[in-house]
Structures are given as structure tokens and as C-alpha cells.
Chains A and B, each alone.
Chain A
Amino acid sequence: MPFLQLSGLTKRFGDVVAVEDFSLAVEKGEFVSLLGPSGCGKTTTLQMIAGFEQPTSGHIMLNGRHLEEVPARNRGLGIVFQTYALFPHMTVEENVAFGLEMRGIDKKERARKVAGALELVQLAHLAKRYPRAMSGGQRQRVALARALVIEPELLLLDEPLSNLDAKLREEMQLELRRIQQEAGVTTLLVTHDQNEAMALSDRVAVMHHGRLMQQETPFHVYENPKSSFISTFLGKTNSLTATLKTTNDEGSALVCNGMELAGPPAHLRPGPITVSLRPERIEIVEAGEAVVSGPVIERIFLGDQWLFRIETPIGPLLVVRRNRGQREPEHGETVHLAWTPHHLRLLPKEDEAA
């Protein structure tokens, strides 16, 4: 039996279905991310686990207990809110102590645990400060300490890093991972930021339109997306419309915009499909080895890498190249592109709506 088990979780608001038949299993100590665009139902799912929303149907089991009937205040979960939700009229210390106070823990023990939690988030020196006198990153740590000090069975993180600037966010990602591992707490993160989800979690569960699309390790989801939505949502990709002609154990034959291409073996019926090709898998080669050729129509320098858009017979292709300090193709220059067929991902064609 998994530590946290969500089964058939559904939430309707009137006619609107926010979450539909959502099932997920999380093992003890695991760090799982719920990833999806805004409005995909991930926050509603979190609110149901926390007890702030009542599921329309479905079950939530934590460590062998049913949570649905337990009021939010007795669920004993640690929650870090998007806005941090620190109590502005209490000091850092008082904020962190609040949950212990509610549990009737005596003063001495409380002080010891608060000190420990602040030590963990490296804020022991700011215990007497008020939240308004702190930076975003520090508030974030206070929120984390407040959630962890009650030694929750489950830690819920609701877009915890979205209010930080880019540089601080990267630092906090590492910090968050360290703290989570040190505390050894089972963690569920809700985020729309694919980088955050990939950097932090053991497993990523991608949500779209209230449904679970795929749940695997970040590497696996990135490498083998199950749908073209996931392939475009996680990282950059070239999505091509093509027709699958034949497929067998050796490989497959595709036609894309009138051009024949070789692909990997596919578990799809011949017919229209979507082909995903990651821009970093496309190489610039000599004319003789080219699969397709065309002129550079866009050229963007990103510091550590170059981004090209190249007009080819199968459509415009995005190509990413690591910046090694050497000459790169100029705007308008014709380049020759190639890739190995097993880097193509053949995905079922989706309706625009899905």
C-alpha cells in the first residue's frame, strides 16, 4: 500500500469539472510534482488533500487513514502557500511556534523545536524579526520551517517559488531539495514551472484539463512524452504533422509535408500522427549528410546557447546549439540538418482542444 493514495478524485464546481478521476500513488519519502498549466486542476487537487475543498467523489488515503472526513485542522499536513501566508503580526519565532502551540506542546519543547526548524532553514539569527522586514527568500524559508516543525506526514508545496526572482529561484530549488531530504518528509509540489518540477522531484505527474496525463521520472517524461501536449509543455520541441506509412520492429516510415522520413518503431496505427523532435537533437552537418536543408530565418543568442529557426521543406525547425565560442551560421545562410531516426517521438495526433 503506498503512503499517499489518491483514487478517482473528482471535483466539480457546478458544471465545471476542475479535477476528473485523478489517481496517484506516492511512496514514503518521495518528492512528487504535480505539473501543469494554470487551470489544469493541480491547485484544486492540493486543496482537496489539504482539506480546504471537499472532493465531489474519490478517496484520499494517507498512511492507511481516510482523509476525506478529517477536518483540515486535524489532518496534520505541512503546507507552504504560494503567498507564504505568514502571520504578519507575529515574529518568525511565533509563526513557526504556532502549530506546536495548537498541539499543546509545552514552552520548553516548543522553543527547542522552533530553534531546530530555524536551524534547518538557516534562519536562526532572524528569529525575532517580523515577516515584513524580510526578503522573499527568507519568508519562503520561514514558511517552510513553519510547515516542517509540526513534523507532518506529508508536505504540500503550492507554487512555493513562483514569487521569487529567477536567480533566487534556482538557489531555493537546491535548498528546498536539501531540506526535504534532510527532513525526509514525503512531499507533493504543485507547480506550473517545468524546470522546477524536473529539478526537484523524484517523479513528475503532468496534469491537463483536470486529468492526469503521465507520471514518471522527470527524465522519462522529458524523453518519452506520452502526448504532444506533454512534449510541448516540458521543454522546447518541434511538433510536426506527419503521416505514418508503415512500422515494424526495425523502424517506421513517415511522410511529412511530402518528404519521406525514417522514424523509430511505433505502437501506432498508420495514419496522421504528430512527430516531436527536440531542438537539441538536431545537428548541423555537411551538405552530403543532410536530412533537410534551408536558410536561417531567426538567430537568437542566449549566452550559453544559440537558438536558430530554419526554414525547411518539412516546416520551420527550431535548433539549439551549445555556445562553444565558434562561428555559427548567419541570418539567411543555408544550413544542412540531420538527426538520428530514434530521436523522433511519434505521438498520436491530438485534437486541438485536448
Chain B
Amino acid sequence: MRHNGLFAKAFSVLFAVFMLAPLVVVIGVSFTPEGFLEFPPSGLSLRWFRAILDNPDFIEAAWVSLQLGVASATVSSIFAVPAALAIGRGRFPGRDALQAFFLSPLTVPTVVLGIAFLRFLSFLNANGTFVGLMLCHAIIIMPFILRLVLASVTGLDRSQEQAAVSLGASDWTVFRRVTLPAIMPGVIGGWVLAFITSFDELTVTVFIVSPTTTTLPVRLFSHITQTTDPLVASISTVAILFTVGLMFLVDRIYGLDRLLIGEGAR
């Protein structure tokens, strides 16, 4: 094992400060007893956390985001898992093109996706509906699920399935009893990553929400572009804590580095 020198350590510390500074500042500001942004806060007060309760539109937006994340991640998984099984095993003509197509939402600028969905949904008179929003999110988050499930599928020992077949299992039984349990970590990991992506999504969503389906990031965004008060900080703090909690959960179940880097990390 090689060790880092003093320079490397100093560099890493400064880098960590850079990465954490904006988050620390947001959390710090949210505890201010004053009516304006100040850091470090002059005192510790939960005033602005209580203020969240007086702003039901934020709570509603968070509720929409939560439902949207769960629904779109689930729908997207249902589409992505069979596709990953098809792509992950065996070669067939068109396989690479198919994979590139399913990963393309990562390449197309999100603002382009946003107006494309807006155009499409308003053409169908479905703009601002929850279902429309959910399907659009399902498209954007599909690459995340696909990549993680694909990693599990390619890591799968083919002979496990052959063993099940040789013992008399039907295709559906093989999938249910052998394949699905084996790729489950990938599916769960992909679902969580997709959920978080949907929960945080702004650029596409901002084009296709209606007042009744406004999500938390959109609500925060429109608030921040008008005024920055400690209320957005306290709401952001709650969002950060929620994400951190989720992160620890994922790290326990699946491994955070594996989730974000891919199967090869371990």
C-alpha cells in the first residue's frame, strides 16, 4: 500500500471543504433566528423549520415529488428489467444500437428533453398531469436503472439458469426463482438511484408541471429565483437530511460506491 504525502493530504482536505461548503452553509443558515440569510447564524432557532408547516404548498410539493419518484422508478424498472435481460446476455444484431437508444436520455441535453415533453404533452392535452409527468420521468431515469441491472445481468452465472432448466423449470419459473433473485441487488440499486434522480429532477420537470403537480425542486427553484430567505434553507436542510438518510440505507443494502460507480468497484 502506497501512502499519500502531505501535499496530497492537504489537497484532499481542501477538496472536501470545497465539496461540503455549500451544504454546510445551507444547513447553518436554516437555524438562524433572524428573518434574513446569515452565516454563521447569530443563534440557534427552529423558527424556519416551524415556518415550513405554515407553507403547505412546499409540503404538497414534497408529497408530489415522493409519489412521482416512487411511481416513475417502479414503472421504469418494469420496462428496464426485461430490456436489460435482453441486452445483457448474448449478442444479437442491433444490440448495441438498442442499448445506445435506451441510454440516450443521458446524452440529449435535459432542456431539449424538457421542451420535447412539453410539446408532446400539450399536443395530447396532458400537460401537467401526474401520469404525463411520471412517464417522462420514467424515460429520463431509465438509463440509471438499465446500467445497474445490466451490470448484474452480465455478472450472472448463466449455468444457474441452465441448472434450473435442466431440473425442469419453465421460463417464467426460471426468471422468478433464479434470475430475479440473482439480479435483485442491481434492481434495488437502480430503483433507488432512479428514485433519487426523479426526486431531484428540475430541468425537465420545470417545463411540464402544473400548479397541482409542482414538485419540490420546481417549487424551491421558483422561490429562489424570486427571493432567498431562510425558509428555502430550512426546506433544503430537510431535503439534505432525507437524502443522507437514504444514502446510509443504500450503503447498508447495496454499497454506495457500487451504486454510483458500477459493479467493478468491489
B56: min CB distance to chain A, Å: 45
B159 partner residues in chain A, CB cutoff 8 A? 81-83, 85
**Contact at B167–A102, with CB atoms within 8 Å?**
yes
Contact partner of B163 among A75, A79, A89, CB < 8 A? A79
**Contact at A98–B162, with CB atoms within 8 Å?**
no
Task: Pick the interface stretch among B101-109, B134-142, B168-176.
Answer: B168-176
**Contact at A72–B178, with CB atoms within 8 Å?**
no
- Please tell me if B12 contacts chain A, counting CB pairs below 8 Å: no
A158: min CB distance to chain B, Å: 8
Assuming the A-B contacts A88-B182, A89-B181, A102-B173, are A73 and B166 also in contact, with contact meaning beta carbons closer than 8 angstroms in the complex?
yes
Q: Which residues of B, 123-173, contact A by the 8 Å Cβ criterion?
A: 157, 159-160, 162-170, 173
**Contact at B167–A146, with CB atoms within 8 Å?**
yes
Contact partner of A52 among B157, B162, B167, B182, CB < 8 A? B162
B89: min CB distance to chain A, Å: 13
Chain B, interface size category, equals: 10 to 19
Q: B-facing mask of A35-58, CB < 8 A → 1, else 0?
A: 000000000000000111000000
A76 partner residues in chain B, CB cutoff 8 A? 168
Q: Which residues of B, 7-51, contact A by the 8 Å Cβ criterion?
A: none
B173 partner residues in chain A, CB cutoff 8 A? 102
A150 partner residues in chain B, CB cutoff 8 A? 167-168
Q: B-facing mask of A58-84, CB < 8 A → 1, else 0?
A: 000000000000001111111101110
Interface residue count on the A side (C-beta < 8 Å): 26
Assuming the A-B contacts A85-B157, A87-B160, are A98 and B165 also in contact, with contact meaning beta carbons closer than 8 angstroms in the complex?
no
- Please tell me if A99 contacts chain B, counting CB pairs below 8 Å: yes
**Contact at A87–B164, with CB atoms within 8 Å?**
yes
Alpha-carbon gap, A98 to B167, bound state (A): 7
- Please tell me if A103 contacts chain B, counting CB pairs below 8 Å: yes
**Contact at B181–A85, with CB atoms within 8 Å?**
no
Alpha-carbon gap, A73 to B163, bound state (A): 9
B178 partner residues in chain A, CB cutoff 8 A? 87
A86 partner residues in chain B, CB cutoff 8 A? 160, 163
Alpha-carbon gap, A87 to B181, bound state (A): 9
Assuming the A-B contacts A85-B157, A89-B181, are A77 and B166 also in contact, with contact meaning beta carbons closer than 8 angstroms in the complex?
yes
Q: Pick the most buried of B163, B173, B177, B182: most chain A CB atoms within 10 A of its CB.
A: B163
Q: Which residues of A, 16-51, contact B by the 8 Å Cβ criterion?
A: 50-51
Q: Which residues of B, 212-246, contact A by the 8 Å Cβ criterion?
A: none
Alpha-carbon gap, A150 to B164, bound state (A): 12
**Contact at A79–B162, with CB atoms within 8 Å?**
yes
**Contact at B162–A73, with CB atoms within 8 Å?**
no
Closest to B162 in A: A52
**Contact at B167–A85, with CB atoms within 8 Å?**
no
Alpha-carbon gap, A142 to B170, bound state (A): 22
B186: min CB distance to chain A, Å: 14
Alpha-carbon gap, A76 to B166, bound state (A): 7
B167 partner residues in chain A, CB cutoff 8 A? 73, 98-99, 102, 146, 150
Alpha-carbon gap, A150 to B169, bound state (A): 13
A154: min CB distance to chain B, Å: 11
A52 partner residues in chain B, CB cutoff 8 A? 162, 165
A146: min CB distance to chain B, Å: 7
Contact partner of A73 among B157, B170, B177, B182, CB < 8 A? B170
Please provide the 8 A-B residue pairs with the shortest distance between their CB atoms, ordered closest to farther: A99-B167, A102-B168, A85-B159, A81-B159, A85-B163, A89-B181, A79-B166, A85-B160
27 CB < 8 A contacts A-B: A50-B162, A50-B166, A51-B166, A72-B162, A72-B165, A72-B166, A73-B165, A73-B169, A73-B170, A75-B166, A77-B166, A79-B162, A79-B163, A79-B166, A81-B159, A85-B157, A85-B159, A85-B160, A85-B162, A86-B163, A87-B181, A88-B182, A89-B181, A98-B164, A99-B167, A102-B168, A147-B166
